[in-house]
A and B are shown apart, each in its own frame.
Chain A
Amino acid sequence: MPKKTEKKSTFNPTEHVYVPKHEIVSDKEKEEVVRKYNASPDQFPQILVSDPVVREIGAKPGDLIKVTRTSQTAGESIFYRFVVVD
């Protein structure tokens, strides 16, 4: 079993082609985003704290994650998710 944890640390989900760029949004920007979309945080899409990418970037519940997807239609598209407890 200890072998497993050792190996696990070498794998980084963010390097996978399916995983778009995740960033923690600064508090100031977070406020702006929430205001821009005229929605309360619970109305935003969510991402679990247990999500491997969230763990990788060290986000905590209440953080807003900005996801930059490569989009088939637009080329690039921005998505936001609030980190929540599962």
Chain B
Amino acid sequence: MAFEESVKAVGGIKFAVFSPSEVRKYSVVEVTAPETYDEDGMPVQGGLMDNRLGTLEPGQKCGTCGNTAARCPGHFGHVELAESVLHIAFVNNVNKLLLATCRACGRLTLSEEELDKYRAKLKEQNVFTPNLAEDIAKEIIAKAKKVKTCPHCDKVQYTIELTKPTIFHEITEDGGATRLLPVAIRERLERISDEDLNLLRYDPESARPEWFVLQVLPVPPVAVRPSITLESGIRSEDDLTHKIVDILRVNQRVRESKESGTPPLIVQDLVDLLQYHATTYFDNEVSGIPQAHHRSGRPLKTLSQRLKGKEGRFRGSLSGKRVDFSSRTVISPDPSLDIAEVGIPFEVAKKLTVSEKVSSWNMDKLKQMIINGPSEHPGANYIVRPDGVKIRLDYVSDRKTVADSLTPGFIVERHLIDGDIAIFNRQPSLHRMSVMAHYIRVLPYRTFRLHPAVCPPYNADFDGDEMNLHIPQSEEARAEALTLMRVQDQILSPRYGGPIIGAIRDFLTSAYLLTKEDTLLTKSMFTDLALSAKYKGPLPEPVVKEPEELYSGRQLFSLCMPKDFNYIMTSKWIQSQRRSEKDVVIKNGELISGVIDRAAIGAEEADSILHRIAKDYGHEQARHFLNSTLSMLKAYITRKGFSYGFDELELSDKARASITEELDKAYAQVKDLIAQYEAGTLPLTRGLSPEDILESLIVTELSRARDRAGRIADRNFPLNNAGVIMARTGARGSSLNIGQMTAALGQQSVRGERIHKGYHNRALSHYKPDDKSPASKGFVRSNYRDGLSPTEFFFHAMGGREGLVDTAVRTQQSGYMQRRLVNALEHIKVEYDLTVRDPDGNIIQFLYGEDGVDPAKSDHGKAVNVQRLVDTAAIFGTETKEKVDVEAVLKKYKGDLPPKLYETLKESFDASSLPKASVAKVVENTLDLLVKATVEPGEASGIVAAQSIGEPGTQMTLRTFHFAGVKEQDVTLGLPRLIELVDARKQPATPTMNVYLDKEHRASKESALEVAREILFTKVGNVVDYTAVEYGTGINLVLSKARIDERKTTTEDIAAIVKTGKRTVEVTGENTITVNLEGADLSALFALRNKLLNMRVKGIPGITRITVTKEDEEWFIQTSGSNLAKIIQIPGVDTARITTNNLFEIATTLGIEAARQALVNEIMGTLEEQGLEVDVRHIFLVADLMTSRGYIQQIGRHGIAGSKASVLARAAFEITVPTLADAAIRGEIEALKGVTENVIVGLPIPLGTGMIDVFMEG
């Protein structure tokens, strides 16, 4: 193989701008002819398809290097432009340079002293002024722009005006505009000195500004713009070729017209046309000029469009590579498989291969495979001889002879067989469990088969889902897959340190049915089921001996557990009855009492039996536990049978009657509320309009009624009702679902409100306008079983539609959030000293997660489950009466234990009565487990954190607003809030504060209100009842007595506030203030009135509403609107505890560390409110990263992702082309230290196993 001659590794990539001479140097041909092929179909010499530019057809040889298409790298040509044109990517830079430099001498228009000052500042730039260079460059440009005469040559400076996209004018003193042609611009740019450019952060070595003006255009090799021949024999050229043809044509016309002495005006038009073509050649989406179109009318895809966006070169081709040895098909379930297996069709097994090296140990097996050939199953498709020649067995007629020639050293590409390793994946790959290694089982039929227990990590179901399968080809790849990616090693999710794989659906139903109190099994049934669990061992003593030997279901379940397993917990079944006793008791591997359900063996359930087995006995044991239990449960439910039908949804007449009664009562209640509203007697709450209050009261009333109806239904069903079993064991559905099927559907909503849109003032024409009754606004009192009325059905469809739209929008939003998170965090890893750093060595955390514990190896977030250790020790140890001096024992270990663990240990020991020896043993064990739970160096903690926050995003609601209680204010929650947080928005959508009060004010509602009145922003308009404007008398402000009192102010106060300037202010009545302005006309008076109404009376700007609430025996104020800096100055406020959800306010008034803490709290709170469990360590990492520069950085292009050191990583994220242009100007060097960069150039990524290198001495 000739390629091996020069194996070189990419060390880095430097970005720069080509100078004209470089373009000419690298050019192999000057392209002059706008033609591509002549009549004979031969490429035109000096044309765009000149064979010196490389070759496309396999048979032809390149005119430059003599290689065929496969080996020729392609060669650049060039076009000599008849007139210079601007490069569109650098127009803004040209503009800035022209503005900042002298039109005559080319120096920066700042005095030498000033420039020296900047240079000196730059030289002494130390690490404690990180943004100095950037700031200086900006400052110089801003200053130089304004200079009128050059301090160096005393020439007058004119303003430069850029008419987008490419036309420059110089505005002379008399206001006249002179066009600056590219040639002139080039001359000016040439005069700028290298020294001055350095100050502006240019690298003149890499990019002299005059090179931004093109005199010569490189022509890319044909391989970049291949032409395609259609079946009809018609050649179709690439978009780029078309564009260069345009350039060449116009170029020729410009040259000819210049030579023939055409009037300059016409020549200028042609030059502008050339500029247009050159511009669209680089970027066909420039604003201000029309797009260039193909003959068919489709816009051309030129250079910029090729690089940009999802399908562009960076994201589509370089970051997303295509692979061989992969396969995709529909998936279906197979509970007979091992959870770590994947079933693949014979068809797939015969196409995908693994290469196996022939040795004396596998010779016979491989020989047989070769004889079987490509079409018979355990066969082979290729063999590779030791000399490197590959033989395709399809073309071998006598495979026997080939098989006989096999000697050690051959490589056989054999079919997949049972036990091979495969990588299985379902998109979207939101977390690392979306890609897992399975053992192969070759099976008949055409789908991939997987065990239902692994559906949760993949988020797979079988309604037509497809999945991908990859076969690792090297020993290293297989070893990595086997040690890191196998299903059993992924049982515990790094998101929350609990199992994500486990029993689902019917397995859970079956588990309940098997382990409930009265389940007895005959001996034959028992042994059969034990056999299906692959149990080998003695049978237990039957619980019933006469008349027949009977075993309990619990005995059967016990067979699957380790013999020394002890645990107690509460089952879902008991939880569903709102009880909390620990019913499940396992003693020495024996299930003594309690039912097994979701809480014990379910997926996504932490602190379950499954979790304990996985933690205490290891992954392999957990896999065996799952395999044996699940296949046994499957066998049991298959025999027993389980169904849910229409008759099981039937309620007793009594229950139906009481549901009707309940709903009628609610309807009456609502009617009463409406009557009160119409009479105006509805109790008013601060800051809400009567309509809003009525709405919220109705909504709560109706939702309570629905809940009550549902509860009646739920209570009516016996505990052996199939639906109840499924809901209560966590197998499927909820009691809400049962209620909706049998009692009432409840309120349908759109945008979180009762449905009111459709017709004018009513939702449907079946109701009267302004009808506020439950039925007219989408309350469905029917249930699914009885069926809905036509109007109900329609309302239901409206609500249902919103749900669908919501899901579609949510997946997009959370997908983009995930992309940004991953992009910001992908390169962050744990180093050998357990600090967390980016590849440039910038420290993000000094100890990962603040305790160095890997959440994936933690025990549901805790480093060590101390309580369990103590409990276990208590079982085996003897109790003592004497008090053990815990402190004394612990003291020895204090240095090795994190403070929190130390405390936990102490507390647990104090609560127990362990002898001294046991205490020491437990501490030893704790230390042992602590080491085991510690993160490993190289861990891609950044990616794991990003996934752990991004993945649950899909499960969040999009509902922006949430009514907390009846009259509380709206707060943004769920996904929009999470996005807002990682976006680091300056102002949250719903700013709010919790203002805690000092001792005197927190005691009573009245004293709290006192402070609240000082906080609430009050303007004159808030206390005015109405105004009257009269010419002559002026403005009469009639104040509302009630509102004045409510806001604790007086008419006099307001008069004093209003009185400023030349106004005459008079209190003319008890509640009336008259304001007049001498000589003002009516319109001026109206203007004045509006001004008056907006004047501040008291309170803090921004605070629009307040609610005084009581929590934990203390009163505090909740506000709408936030203004931390001002509120801390109000007397009575507890400045030590006040909080806001505006992080920027916290950063400016309390500092960056407080902002970090607030960020952690806010993200954690948002996730918890949605019932999603995420380990804090992930959130710590995100918060520490966002605050690492001392201010809050966004997760996105303007923050962390935009300030990455790597050019390629930035270009691959967003704003591709400007990033590359900028990198070229600065002469940046891509050091290839991060993740994206190395994916792009095809090198191993420096994380985990990829960061290990072998160093050899000598």
Interface residues in chain A, defined as those with a beta carbon under 8 Å from any beta carbon in chain B:
4, 7-8, 11-13, 15-20, 22, 37-48, 51-54, 61-62, 67, 69, 71-86
Contacts and interface: CB of A to CB of B under 8 A. Distances in A.
B129 A61 contact: yes
B216 interface: no
A74 B1135 contact: no
B669 interface: no
B1135 A11 contact: yes
Contacts of A17: 1136-1137
A72 B1148 CA distance: 24
Given A71-B900, A72-B850, A75-B898, 20 more contacts: A4-B1129, A11-B1135, A16-B1136, A16-B1137, A18-B1153, A38-B833, A40-B841, A41-B127, A43-B837, A45-B1187, A45-B1189, A46-B1190, A47-B1153, A51-B1190, A54-B1151, A61-B129, A71-B851, A73-B898, A80-B846, A86-B131
B843 A39 contact: yes
A19 B845 CA distance: 18
B1157 A37 contact: no
Interface residues of B, number: 56
A13 B1150 contact: yes
Contacts of A67: 1153
Interface string B815-857: 0000000000000000001010100111111110111010000
A37 B1191 CA distance: 23
A81 B1139 CA distance: 24
B1153 A69 contact: yes
Contacts of B1188: 45-46
Interface in B1150-1169: 1150-1154, 1157-1158
A74 B900 contact: yes
B846 A47 contact: no
B1136 to A, nearest CB: 5
Contact of B1151 (A52, A61, A71, A85): A52
A20 B1191 contact: no
Contacts of A13: 1149-1151, 1154
Nearest to A36: B833
A36 to B, nearest CB: 8
B1151 A51 contact: yes
B1150 A53 contact: yes
Contact of A15 (B131, B845, B1136): B1136
B902 interface: yes
Interface in B102-133: 126-132
Contact of B129 (A8, A18, A80, A85): A85
Interface of B: 126-132, 833, 835, 837, 840-847, 849-851, 853, 861, 863, 898-903, 1128-1129, 1135-1139, 1146, 1148-1154, 1157-1158, 1176-1177, 1180, 1184, 1187-1191
30 contacts: A16-B1150, A19-B1151, A20-B1157, A40-B127, A41-B128, A42-B130, A43-B840, A43-B841, A44-B842, A45-B1189, A46-B1190, A48-B1190, A53-B1153, A54-B1151, A62-B128, A71-B851, A71-B900, A73-B851, A73-B861, A73-B900, A74-B851, A74-B898, A75-B901, A76-B898, A78-B846, A81-B1152, A82-B127, A82-B128, A83-B128, A86-B131
B850 A71 contact: yes
Contact of A42 (B127, B901, B1180, B1184): B127
Contacts of A46: 130, 1188-1190
B842 A43 contact: yes
B1175 to A, nearest CB: 9
B841 to A, nearest CB: 5
A73 B849 contact: yes
A15 B1135 contact: yes
A20 B1157 CA distance: 9
Nearest to B848: A73
Contacts of A19: 1150-1151, 1153-1154, 1157
Contacts of A22: 1151, 1153
A47 B851 contact: no
B819 to A, nearest CB: 25
A37 to B, nearest CB: 6
Contacts of B1189: 45-46
A61 B827 CA distance: 29
A52 B1150 contact: yes
Contacts of B842: 43-44
Closest 4 CB pairs of A and B: A75-B900, A75-B899, A42-B127, A74-B851
Nearest to B129: A85
Given A43-B840, A45-B844, A73-B851, A85 B898 contact: no
Contacts of A48: 1152, 1190-1191
Contacts of B850: 69, 71-74, 77
Contacts of B132: 85
Nearest to B1179: A72
Given A71-B900, A72-B1176, A82-B127, A39 B1154 contact: no
Contacts of A75: 898-903
Contacts of A37: 833, 835, 843, 846
Given A20-B1153, A83-B128, A45 B1177 contact: no
Contact of B1135 (A16, A42, A82, A86): A16
A77 B840 CA distance: 24
Nearest to B853: A73
Contacts of A11: 1128-1129, 1135
A52 B127 contact: no
A16 B900 contact: no
A52 B1153 contact: no
